[in-house]
Structure formats: C-alpha cells, structure tokens
Amino acid sequence: MKPVKVGLLGLGTVGGGTLNVLVRNAQEIARRAGREIVVSHAAARDYDPSQLEGLESVEICNDAFDVVANPEVDIVVELIGGYSPAKELVMKAIENGKHVVTANKALIALHGNEIFTAAQKQGVTVAFEAAVAGGIPIIKALREGLSANHINWIAGIINGTGNFILTEMKEKGRDFADVLKEAQELGYAEADPTFDVEGIDAAHKLTILASLAFGIPLQFEKCFTEGISKIEPQDVTYAEEFGYRIKHLGVTRKTEAGVELRVHPTLIPEKRLIANVNGVMNAVLVNGDAVGPTLYYGAGAGSLPTASAVVADVIDVARALTTDPTNRVPHLAFQPGELSDTPVLSMDDVETAYYLRMTVEDKAGVLAAIAGILSEAGISIDAMQQKEPGDADDYVPLVMLTHNVREAAMNTAIAKIEGLAAVRGSVTRIRVEQLS
C-alpha cells in the first residue's frame, strides 16, 4: 500500500515537533496506521534545519497555498495558527478534497461550524485533537471514549500560562505583574499576554469542549470570559484560610435552562485533585452520568506534547482514508443533523457560590448593613472573616463566602455594597465551585 503523504504548514515549535515525531517513530506509526506516513511537502519561511529531522526527503516552499494545491498531498497539517490565512488554507484544502489536521483552537472555535460543513460536503475529515490541552487526548475522550454518557459538566485548567502565574502567587506570595514578567521571560507568555491572562485562549478551548460534550454548535461569542489580572496575593492567602485554592477554570454545565459557558478565576476545595494541578500543566475534569468524574492531566503545550496529539490525528485520518465518510466519527461527536439548539445561558442566569473581599470602615453597624443588603438579594453567608485593622488605618478587609445564588442577584448586591459610605473601593468577587 502506498504511503500517506503529509503536507506540513509551518515548521515552528509544533510543526518541527510533528516532523520529528513522524520521522523518529515512523516504524511504530506504520505498525499502528497499517501503512507508512511520510512528510513529503512543507511550507515555511523561517525554520532551524539543525532542529529538524528527515528534511532531505521533504520538499519545502515559501507558499503554503502551493502545498494545499499539490495533488500528491493526502493530509494537510495546519500549524500556522491565528485566523488568517489559516482559515483560507483550510477551506482551500477541503475544496481540493484533502483531509486536514490542525492545532488551531481559535480557528475551530470561531469558524469550526463553517469548516465542518464544508468538510462534510466534500467527504473529508478535519481533526483537531491538539487544539485543546496540548498532548492530553481530551477530544478523543469526549468524542469516543465517553460517547455512552450524558455529560453533566466539564471543568478545566486549559491554559498553562495562567496556571503557572497562580501557582507562583500561591507558593511564593508573588504579585501578578511580577510573575507575568517571569512567564514572558521563560517563554510561557507572549509579549502581548492578553489571550492567556484574560481568558481568551481558554474560552476558545472551552467552546470546543462544550460543543463536543452537549452536541451544540460552536458559539465562542457567547462564552463569558474573565481573566486573572485582578487577583491579588491576599486573595490567594484568604482562599487558603477557607480551605480553597484559586484556579483559572473553564466551566461548562448543562442545566434545565441551558448550557453554562464561562471562563473565570475560581475557588476550588483544596482536596480536589484538580486544585493540585500546578505550574504550566493542564487538567480537564469531565463528569458523565454513567462514568462519574474522570480527570485528564498532562502537558497542555510544548513542541513534543502537542506534536503527539497532531500525529495521533494524522494516524486516525490515515486509518480512515478508505472508510465511507458517513461512517466516520463525527467532527463534533454528534451526527451533523443531530446538533441541538439548546441555548447558552447569559452569565446573569448562572448560579454559583461566591468569595467576596471588601475593605470596610472598622465601626459598628457596617457588617449589619452589608449583611442586610445580601439578605435582601436572597444571598446567605456561608463563612466570614474580618481581619484586624492596621496601626494607622480605620479600614479592615472583610472576606466572606456565600451560598449559591444567581449572578444577577449578586451583581445587584455588590453595586449596593459599593455604594455604602463605609466601603472603600470596589468589591472583589471570585466564583466558587465545589466540583463534587
């Protein structure tokens, strides 16, 4: 049987890793796929030949569209990233009847519906395991391993940069800005870290996970996104005193009213396994009605971990090349005609518990006024601590945990609390999840 020929778009960190894995493990891969898989063509303008293996058998050009148009290429592997020209390249590859493998979560989250529709019409596959959580096979788990289940909810640490920052803040008491600078120096964060620290990267990934879990179209624009830039060391300390740790979570849950889709800092009980995932590692906790809770842990980025997922997709596609397209595993786990119109809930309609921290005047009646506002909004207090005043300050930190309440009610209560003369500045609010 003739080899499957792969065209790589990009020979950077992930593209280079993909080439190296395919060359190093060629024999093992052929044993698994049932035929040889080779990189025959690649498009790259900037790459380091000393870090790449097997280049002598690869035809390299500057124009990615030349690879996409080459009739010899069976599978196009898009590792350029971003929205454009990645979308145009993928759509052209599909038009040319080529299968596609991509690690591009932004592309899938924003344009996946269009891409999968085009692929379905052409009878080709678009595989995207590496788009979420790097080397962790969470896409395959949701699409295949857990296909017997109604998925109840998913909670994931799906951005290593944010997890590294929060870990350093917890373990060393460092400020956010200080750790972010180090993350940039170490190459964990980009020069512009917005996508990582403000939750956009995690929202891309959560959008994909929610679609796979609940059989709904990809709806990135409806994902609530909040970053970690406002988390202070004192919040990390107070959370620990209550028996919690702060993690930047992506949470999606199916309720009777609709699907929750949200990324934000979250207090998690310290006894939960996912609360102890530290550094740049990723973890995804999936709760299914039959299997119960399952945890997937591993490297969420990096050359070889991500290449592991890319190559696994290439092998899957190679195995299915001669399969009837209607009998392949659906792109979004559910048959294309079976996606539901279950609504994605507004954040105002989400129910969760809360951690609240405020700076209040240390005098009689203040606590009663705050408790009264919360009571009027139907919010009950679960635990509370009032810290000792400083030597030269009549204001003290007041920290509390609440029971579950709708976000809209909490928004109203916080606005009234911030309007009190005895409250200085704004109220810090972090959502709390038990994940039980």
Reported as a single tens digit per residue, the pLDDT across 63-108 is 999 999 999 999 999 999 999 999 999 999 999 999 999 999 999 9
Sequence spans of domains, the chain: 4-135+303-338, 138-299, 351-432
Write down the mean pLDDT value for the chain. 96
Q: Which of 205, 222, 247, 254 is catalytic?
A: 205
Q: Report whether pLDDT(349) > 90.
A: yes
In this prediction, residue 51 carries a pLDDT of: 95
Q: Report whether pLDDT(217) > 90.
A: yes
Instruction: Judge: domain 138-299, CATH 3.30.360.10.
Output: yes
In this prediction, residue 208 carries a pLDDT of: 98
Q: Average pLDDT in the 43-70 region?
A: 96
In this prediction, residue 402 carries a pLDDT of: 98
Instruction: Judge: domain 4-135+303-338, CATH 3.40.50.720.
Output: yes
Q: Which fold has domain 351-432?
A: Alpha-Beta Plaits (3.30.70)
Instruction: Fill in the amino acid letter for 284.
Output: V
In this prediction, residue 387 carries a pLDDT of: 79
**Residue 39 has which token pair?**
């990189």
Q: Report whether pLDDT(391) > 80.
A: no
**181 is known as an active-site residue:** no
Q: Report whether pLDDT(310) > 90.
A: yes
In this prediction, residue 392 carries a pLDDT of: 60
